[in-house]
Structure 1
Amino acid sequence: MLAALLGIGIGVSLAVQTAINSRLRKFVVSPFLASMVSFLVAAVFLAITMIISGSPFGISISVFSSQPIWIWFGGICGVIGLTTNILLFPKLGSMETSVMPIIGMLVMGMLIDNFSWFNSIEHPFGMNRIFGVFLVLLGVFLAVGVQEVISRRHTSATAKENKANLWPWRFVGIGAGMLMSIQVAINGQLGVVLNSPLQAAFVSFFIGSVTLIIVVGLKERSYTNIKEPIKQSAPWWVWVGGFLGGAYILINVYLVGKIGTGQTVVLALFGQIVGSLLVQQFGLLKSIKNRIVPIQILGLIIMLGGVCLIKLF
């Protein structure tokens, strides 16, 4: 029960983080710079937590020599997945940018569990788990996609033709979701190797931060816009997205070691959808306010049924 609550909770926090980072982007302009700020805040937050808890920063040389190189790539997978979603938004719109990565995350999470990739806990496929995944996808469609599908019924023929050219981008979105599940699995294994979920989360965000600093330097050639939120008197909470991101990865690392990658991903996805709908319902964090409709509630109920099947079987 505790694992389920933690998984759903971090999913809700991820939805809130997305809303916060979207607001931050309005001030710093660049999506890459907004991501860099979020990663740096998370790294600092985790570093302070390590100091307070007395956790060591040093890593034994034997870990580098005895472990596969992929164990250090969790942060890079996270950066690629996040950046890809930012780039997909203007191409696919909000609904498909949300749904395509979710499909990728579910598929890859189940594959990782079934074949025990990245030394993850093995959870073989069964009809109950397969049916559970189907219910989760159906629930996602009802909770996220139906309203946008209805609104597109009156789109022009030219717009519909253009949609035919979007399949490459959709596959990119699915691939981004797969990378996010791989990140969860790698960070979980890193937590086992280091015997510390906290240290593993810090390493992931540190590597991700360095990666984004390099990307922003090469692409934007300037970091000056990082001052804009202060100059424009932005609300204080635009800086806290990184705290939520740090907590998300930290608890992910812990849960993967307890219940496996697939179950962790599914629980977090359910929480993410719930959190997103709540943010929209109440217009939290100055986001666009959209009331929840009954079919979205039905979608959440169906998703919950799918989560239970996957969790129990």
Structure 2
Amino acid sequence: MKLLFPLLAIIGGIAVAAQSQINGGLGKKTGVLESSFISFGIGTLALFFAVLFFGKGNLLAATAVPKWQLLGGLLGALYLTISILVVPKIGVASTFAAVIAGQIVMGAIIDHFGLFGGMRMPMDVKKAAAIFLLFVSLYLFNHK
């Protein structure tokens, strides 16, 4: 059971990498924003049926949450649109190296300040060194 969640995360990463290339190709034919719209539309339909047949939560509870907690969809649309724009230019691996760098930096900021209701985990020298090395690897990964 301990391995289930890391394995699911790996499967999620595989899906996102494949999705990026697929959406990049779609974007070349339909346009960047149009591709994002198509992708979110199909995803919305898939989730609609998943909620309809398997959902156990309460969609109406979304009206009671702080409004900033509804920004996830906008951030997802921003990410997807940027991915569709960037992948055909620099490839999936280079795009993901940069995406991961952005995720880790923002994650460290969120942890350091305890943003969005998270537990505060202050930045230390080891984390700062890891972020520096992350950017060194990003440079090496993209330097031709």
The structure whose Rg is larger is: 1
User: Aligned-residue CA RMSD in angstroms?
Assistant: 2.8
For residue 100 of structure 1, report the CA deviation from its aligned partner. 4.7
Residue 23 and residue 84 in structure 1: after superposition, are their counterparts in 2 closer, same or farther (change >3 A)? closer
Counterpart for residue 107 of structure 1 = 105
The residue type equivalent to 1:123 in the other structure is: M
Counterpart contact for 2:20–2:84, Cα < 8 Å: no
TM-score computed with the length of structure 1 as normaliser:
0.38
Aligned to 1:76: 74
Which blocks of at least 5 consecutive residues in structure 1 are unaligned?
Answer: 151-313
Shift of 1:15: 0.9
Q: Kindly tell me: are residues 136 and 10 of structure 1, through their superposed partners in 2, closer, same or farther at Cα, counting changes over 3 Å?
A: farther
Amino acid at match of 1:118: F
Aligned partners of 1:78 and 1:116: how far apart in 2?
21
Instruction: Evaluate the alpha carbon distance shift between residue 136 and residue 3 of structure 1 in structure 2; reply closer, same or farther with a 3 A threshold.
Output: farther
**Residue pair 2:112, 2:120 contacting (<8 A) in 1 also:** yes
- Aligned partner of 1:20 in structure 2 is 22
Partner of 1:55 in structure 2? Answer: 56
Residue 83 and residue 54 in structure 1: after superposition, are their counterparts in 2 closer, same or farther (change >3 A)?
closer
Q: Does 1:133 align with 2:134?
A: no
Q: CA deviation at 1:86?
A: 4.3
Higher RCO, Cα 8 Å, sep 6+: 1
Identity of aligned residues (%): 28
Closer/same/farther in 2, CA of residues 139 and 88 from structure 1, 3 Å limit: closer
SS at match of 1:38: helix
| Contact 2:113/2:122, CA 8 A, preserved across alignment | yes
Residue type at the aligned position of 1:131: A
Q: What is the TM-score normalised by the length of structure 2?
A: 0.74
